Chain A
């Protein structure tokens, strides 16, 4: 019996009724009236048009009741509210957008103007519109573990429901701008320190803290000196210049307009809340129409779609990883961090030791507390004897890419694995069809292709083969989603989906180098397009040996002409110049050479087309071959697996918008060779 579960006393908002005609709120009148946000049929609250409309109606009623204080809190265990209802506003344009924003602002203004004390009790995720609702209250009481923030910038937007003027008015405006510009959230103590929260208490002290707030005994820290200093336009201009140059480093103005719109907003109106509010509405409505915002909102939906493809129970508590190389170690460390029991097997002790160090490094980077990191490390057991093989619900083979080696491992698992356990390979260059013959149970075998580094790349390809059972693929997808990665279901195709598409990007860059083009020029053109890394830099990052292997595999296995690999590349690999990991590749890192970070101001369109359009073509080919189900999966996989310019919405979306890709490919084919010949699938694409 779990005693803790038995004696747990939690607030029981479900005992509080929803008023007549109200769907999203529960209301308990009283001296201290309580409003519970409880969106129906979902585990997560979002601030929708209906939520605000009903709040408006409730506020009118409560105003008449004249309570001493009004508390607004959430009935969901996961958090206060995850943000605005993106589905509700994504399609809004022009006047309709402005009108809806103005209505929303009016409701929050009404809340802010109440002459009794208003208190928001926030717990868990309190983001975007949720935070804006809380900011319209007199006090904010945070429950330990709360996370507040404005992630709008990641959608190509800025806060639009009063967040810009309320947050800069509440706390140090520079810190407020920082939060909104980076989209990073502040966790409990940090939020308290910033002054966003007036109190931070454990759940059991919430009632007492509400009492204190209602009695006027809860002060909030103002932004202090810094806030008043920033009331002058001159001071704001100075700060704004710095913010602009910071933003320019991360997100160039032409591709990401939102940060600059936000900075302008504050610089021009930071001294006047009313003006800033008006300007916020106008600016938000304008941004909403931008291609960047629309594409980033699409990326948001794509993420949600992938996530929902991994719904359900994976039935996996123990993961056994075979092979403690960089990938195996990252997979093990990440899975342990996400709560799985992990055993990591290798024939040698040295890589197992390094894997522990790598895990500790990841946990440090991810800001785990000492105790969280210790527990995660405790869950990840180096396992030189392979004890986990018989205990695991999932075995992930992450051994070197040698067929015989993998076959040997699979053979040794026969009659060892737990009944019902799944075997998955993290192979990136071998076909599952070639591996399946050696596995203990073909039905319970699949590909689980992670991207490097696992702790930063959210995508996992769930690769099927002819004999894999649906239940196996479902469990693998659920496993990926369960460890906070995004599963994309693909079939057993050369390079699977993402490497098939990415291959030409790297291969064409090698051809250009062979032609004598400058590597920095190539990289800077790709950066200007919006790629996170130029192809030459990426090749060094991935490792030239792996690039060589991927190129060879694509060339040999695809039924179409592919770029030749220059001889010097093979020679470099043979000489041990394999890229960043060896200190020298196409760039010489040992000699202090660094790849360019700044995009080209005036990039060559031809370079961009030669790099990017074959990726679109590969996507069309994958679609035609059924490697992925639909264009959404392709765009999502390429964005989340490679960081492909997200504001362009993915290669398929880009091709759709551009419309001339097939024609341009034909022209490139005439000029540069058959590798550019458009795929047969273009005829039905569009």
Chain B
């Protein structure tokens, strides 16, 4: 049995740039801040859901299974089943996809699916010897034993790395994510200027979307305990310019690299939720769907070129549904790196690549910049890894509706060599 599945509503927090030190919210705090107003604006009670699924990569110690913690804090009831999913940068989309499949198969009627991430809370990681020493110190009995243990202390024990840095390094190839973008830039001939120009555009688009109120209802303000109301994605630089970006040094491969902090996604905190419903639920609660989820796809490839994940995941969707590049009205390709997005576009126009890898006779074709990430992306608003996949699906749905067009694909590259994609139609 396959039933239609609708995205009926959704919201996200502003994405808050990590500014050194933990931000005001933990992953679950963000999910709660985002979920409260979203649930409040529904015509049904928070307990009406069959399931809560939340994507989160960096779970903090106090919030194991953040999906369940969030569900309880959101007043969704003791009987609310909730689980957390993790597929790195695709986690927020994995939650939607899982919900989509459950509803499509008929076992569930309405699911709250989200993503949350507080990258600013990523823990410090000590090396193995240091960890062993701390353990020994804790077990030491009496002052003598402790003193003996103290003599084993070495200065490098106190040089922890930020866990995030480790998380952004591929464990198989030891390449940093930025380096994988360098590999693609080299292979597809993306130069620094093109990448920078893409980044400037991302900022301008987000700034325009904020100014025109195109994010209203999608981005809801959050309030921290220090009394600050955060209303907007705060990493946006409306005054971004080529001159400014040209001054930045390569972030990962000095001195010749092309990937800089300016043309990479920002490290941010944020959460996003969408509500998925079956036709039965839509009728029962009198809901107005924004979009219909049509299909989804996950793909895998060599981790050192993980940035091509969108190409490998999206193409089968197009093929399965007999869609050409012209049939897709809007694209959301998560902007991990400008060079990486541009490489995807280049790959789809590369005849050899499309023939050898994707099984086409000719190039898939050109995706117009006017149809891609039309309101900005992770370069301007940031990439809270577990959240981004959720955000691009939500925004695609809203954008389809606002622009009065029919079909769109939201897709992201995933560290570790994966890609995820969802095909949506306006409802």
Task: Provide the residues of chain A in CB contact with B78, threshold 8 Å.
Answer: 2, 4
In this assembly, does B191 line the interface, its C-beta being within 8 Å of a C-beta of chain A?
A: no
* CB–CB B32/A382 < 8 A: no
Task: Provide the residues of chain A in CB contact with B221, threshold 8 Å.
Answer: 349, 352, 382, 384
Contact A352/B223 with A375-B73, A378-B32, A382-B229 known, Cβ cut-off 8 Å: yes
Residues 210-251 of B, flagged 1 when their CB comes within 8 A of A and 0 if not, give 000000000001011111110100000000000000000000
In this assembly, does B75 line the interface, its C-beta being within 8 Å of a C-beta of chain A?
A: yes
Q: Shortest distance in angstroms between A206's beta carbon and chain B's nearest beta carbon?
A: 25
> Once the chains are docked, how many angstroms separate the CA of A374 from the CA of B73?
9
Which of B36, B227, B228 lies in contact with A381, CB distance below 8 A?
A: B36
Residues 30-64 of A, flagged 1 when their CB comes within 8 A of B and 0 if not, give 00000000000000000000000000000000000
* CB–CB B225/A341 < 8 A: no
Which of A343, A382, A385 lies in contact with B223, CB distance below 8 A?
A: A382
Residue of A nearest to B73 (CB): A378
Which of B32, B37, B225, B226 lies in contact with A385, CB distance below 8 A?
A: B37
* CB–CB B41/A387 < 8 A: yes
In this assembly, does B40 line the interface, its C-beta being within 8 Å of a C-beta of chain A?
A: yes
Within 8 A of B (CB), among A313-354: 341, 343, 349-350, 352-354
Interface class of chain A by DSSP: helix
Interface class of chain B by DSSP: loop
* CB–CB A354/B227 < 8 A: yes
Residue of B nearest to A354 (CB): B227
In this assembly, does A357 line the interface, its C-beta being within 8 Å of a C-beta of chain B?
A: yes
Residue of A nearest to B45 (CB): A391
Residues 354-387 of A, flagged 1 when their CB comes within 8 A of B and 0 if not, give 1011101000000000000011011101111101
Q: Shortest distance in angstroms between B257's beta carbon and chain A's nearest beta carbon?
A: 41
* CB–CB B223/A356 < 8 A: yes
* CB–CB B228/A353 < 8 A: yes
> Once the chains are docked, how many angstroms separate the CA of A391 from the CA of B41?
9
Task: Provide the residues of chain B in CB contact with A384, threshold 8 Å.
Answer: 221
Q: Shortest distance in angstroms between A377's beta carbon and chain B's nearest beta carbon?
A: 7
Contact A349/B231 with A356-B224, A377-B225 known, Cβ cut-off 8 Å: yes
> Once the chains are docked, how many angstroms separate the CA of A4 from the CA of B226?
37
* CB–CB B37/A387 < 8 A: yes
In this assembly, does A388 line the interface, its C-beta being within 8 Å of a C-beta of chain B?
A: yes
> Once the chains are docked, how many angstroms separate the CA of A4 from the CA of B74?
20
> Once the chains are docked, how many angstroms separate the CA of A85 from the CA of B383?
64
Q: Shortest distance in angstroms between A395's beta carbon and chain B's nearest beta carbon?
A: 14
Residue of B nearest to A356 (CB): B223
Residue of A nearest to B40 (CB): A387
Task: Provide the residues of chain A in CB contact with B227, threshold 8 Å.
Answer: 353-354, 356-358
* CB–CB A352/B37 < 8 A: no
Q: Which size bracket describes the interface of B in this complex? A: 10 to 19
Task: Provide the residues of chain A in CB contact with B37, threshold 8 Å.
Answer: 381, 383, 385, 387
> Once the chains are docked, how many angstroms separate the CA of A4 from the CA of B231?
40
Q: Which of B36, B75, B224, B227 has the most CB of A within 10 A?
A: B227
Q: Shortest distance in angstroms between B87's beta carbon and chain A's nearest beta carbon?
A: 28
> Once the chains are docked, how many angstroms separate the CA of A341 from the CA of B224?
18
* CB–CB A352/B73 < 8 A: no
Q: Shortest distance in angstroms between B421's beta carbon and chain A's nearest beta carbon?
A: 33
Task: Provide the residues of chain B in CB contact with A349, threshold 8 Å.
Answer: 221, 223, 229, 231
Q: Tell me the count of chain A residues lying within 8 A, CB to CB, of chain B.
A: 26
Contact A381/B40 with A341-B75, A353-B224 known, Cβ cut-off 8 Å: yes
How many Cβ-Cβ contacts under 8 Å join chain A to chain B? 52
> Once the chains are docked, how many angstroms separate the CA of A384 from the CA of B221?
9
Task: Provide the residues of chain A in CB contact with B41, threshold 8 Å.
Answer: 385, 387
Task: Provide the residues of chain A in CB contact with B73, threshold 8 Å.
Answer: 374-375, 378
> Once the chains are docked, how many angstroms separate the CA of A665 from the CA of B174?
91
* CB–CB A350/B229 < 8 A: yes
Task: Provide the residues of chain A in CB contact with B40, threshold 8 Å.
Answer: 343, 381, 383, 387-388, 391
* CB–CB B226/A352 < 8 A: no
Residue of A nearest to B32 (CB): A378
Task: Provide the residues of chain B in CB contact with A352, threshold 8 Å.
Answer: 221, 223, 229
Residues 32-67 of B, flagged 1 when their CB comes within 8 A of A and 0 if not, give 100011001100000000000000000000000000
> Once the chains are docked, how many angstroms separate the CA of A2 from the CA of B37?
27
> Once the chains are docked, how many angstroms separate the CA of A388 from the CA of B37?
9
Residue of B nearest to A1 (CB): B79
> Once the chains are docked, how many angstroms separate the CA of A179 from the CA of B36?
42
* CB–CB B229/A357 < 8 A: no
Q: Shortest distance in angstroms between B30's beta carbon and chain A's nearest beta carbon?
A: 13
Task: Provide the residues of chain B in CB contact with A341, threshold 8 Å.
Answer: 75
Task: Provide the residues of chain A in CB contact with B225, threshold 8 Å.
Answer: 356-357, 360, 377
Q: Shortest distance in angstroms between A386's beta carbon and chain B's nearest beta carbon?
A: 10
Q: Which of B40, B75, B224 has the most CB of A within 10 A?
A: B40
> Once the chains are docked, how many angstroms separate the CA of A228 from the CA of B426?
82
Residue of A nearest to B75 (CB): A341
Contact A353/B229 with A343-B40, A382-B223, A388-B40 known, Cβ cut-off 8 Å: yes
Residues 1-32 of A, flagged 1 when their CB comes within 8 A of B and 0 if not, give 01010000000000000000000000000000
> Once the chains are docked, how many angstroms separate the CA of A387 from the CA of B42?
9
Q: Shortest distance in angstroms between B301's beta carbon and chain A's nearest beta carbon?
A: 42
> Once the chains are docked, how many angstroms separate the CA of A374 from the CA of B221?
18
Task: Provide the residues of chain B in CB contact with A385, threshold 8 Å.
Answer: 37, 41
> Once the chains are docked, how many angstroms separate the CA of A360 from the CA of B37?
20
Residue of A nearest to B36 (CB): A381
Q: Which of A2, A341, A378, A383 has the most CB of B within 10 A?
A: A378
Q: Shortest distance in angstroms between B217's beta carbon and chain A's nearest beta carbon?
A: 9
Task: Provide the residues of chain A in CB contact with B32, threshold 8 Å.
Answer: 378
Q: Which of B78, B224, B229 has the most CB of A within 10 A?
A: B229
Q: Shortest distance in angstroms between A364's beta carbon and chain B's nearest beta carbon?
A: 10
> Once the chains are docked, how many angstroms separate the CA of A650 from the CA of B221?
47
Q: Shortest distance in angstroms between B76's beta carbon and chain A's nearest beta carbon?
A: 12
> Once the chains are docked, how many angstroms separate the CA of A437 from the CA of B24?
45
Task: Provide the residues of chain A in CB contact with B223, threshold 8 Å.
Answer: 349, 352-353, 356, 382
Residue of A nearest to B74 (CB): A378
Q: Shortest distance in angstroms between A87's beta carbon and chain B's nearest beta carbon?
A: 41
Q: Shortest distance in angstroms between B285's beta carbon and chain A's nearest beta carbon?
A: 15
Q: Shortest distance in angstroms between B122's beta carbon and chain A's nearest beta carbon?
A: 21
Q: Shortest distance in angstroms between B44's beta carbon and chain A's nearest beta carbon?
A: 11
> Once the chains are docked, how many angstroms separate the CA of A377 from the CA of B74?
11
Task: Provide the residues of chain A in CB contact with B74, threshold 8 Å.
Answer: 378
Task: Provide the residues of chain A in CB contact with B231, threshold 8 Å.
Answer: 349
> Once the chains are docked, how many angstroms separate the CA of A343 from the CA of B40?
9
Q: Shortest distance in angstroms between B3's beta carbon and chain A's nearest beta carbon?
A: 29
> Once the chains are docked, how many angstroms separate the CA of A343 from the CA of B41?
12
> Once the chains are docked, how many angstroms separate the CA of A375 from the CA of B36?
13
Q: Shortest distance in angstroms between B75's beta carbon and chain A's nearest beta carbon?
A: 7
> Once the chains are docked, how many angstroms separate the CA of A382 from the CA of B36?
10
> Once the chains are docked, how many angstroms separate the CA of A239 from the CA of B73?
48
Residues 385-427 of A, flagged 1 when their CB comes within 8 A of B and 0 if not, give 1011001000000000000000000000000000000000000
Q: Shortest distance in angstroms between B303's beta carbon and chain A's nearest beta carbon?
A: 39
> Once the chains are docked, how many angstroms separate the CA of A628 from the CA of B376?
63
> Once the chains are docked, how many angstroms separate the CA of A356 from the CA of B33?
12
Within 8 A of B (CB), among A421-458: none
Task: Provide the residues of chain B in CB contact with A358, threshold 8 Å.
Answer: 227
Task: Provide the residues of chain B in CB contact with A379, threshold 8 Å.
Answer: 75
> Once the chains are docked, how many angstroms separate the CA of A365 from the CA of B225?
14
Task: Provide the residues of chain B in CB contact with A381, threshold 8 Å.
Answer: 36-37, 40
Q: Shortest distance in angstroms between A75's beta carbon and chain B's nearest beta carbon?
A: 28
Q: Shortest distance in angstroms between B47's beta carbon and chain A's nearest beta carbon?
A: 13
> Once the chains are docked, how many angstroms separate the CA of A374 from the CA of B28?
11
Residue of B nearest to A341 (CB): B75
Name 11 extra pairs, CB < 8 A, besides A353-B229, A378-B32, A388-B40.
A343-B40, A349-B221, A352-B223, A358-B227, A360-B225, A374-B73, A378-B36, A378-B73, A382-B229, A385-B37, A385-B41
Closest 9 CB pairs of A and B: A357-B227, A353-B229, A349-B229, A387-B40, A360-B225, A356-B223, A353-B227, A381-B36, A354-B227
- Contact sample, A vs B, 8 pairs, CB 8 Å cutoff: A352-B221, A352-B223, A356-B223, A360-B225, A375-B73, A378-B32, A378-B36, A387-B37
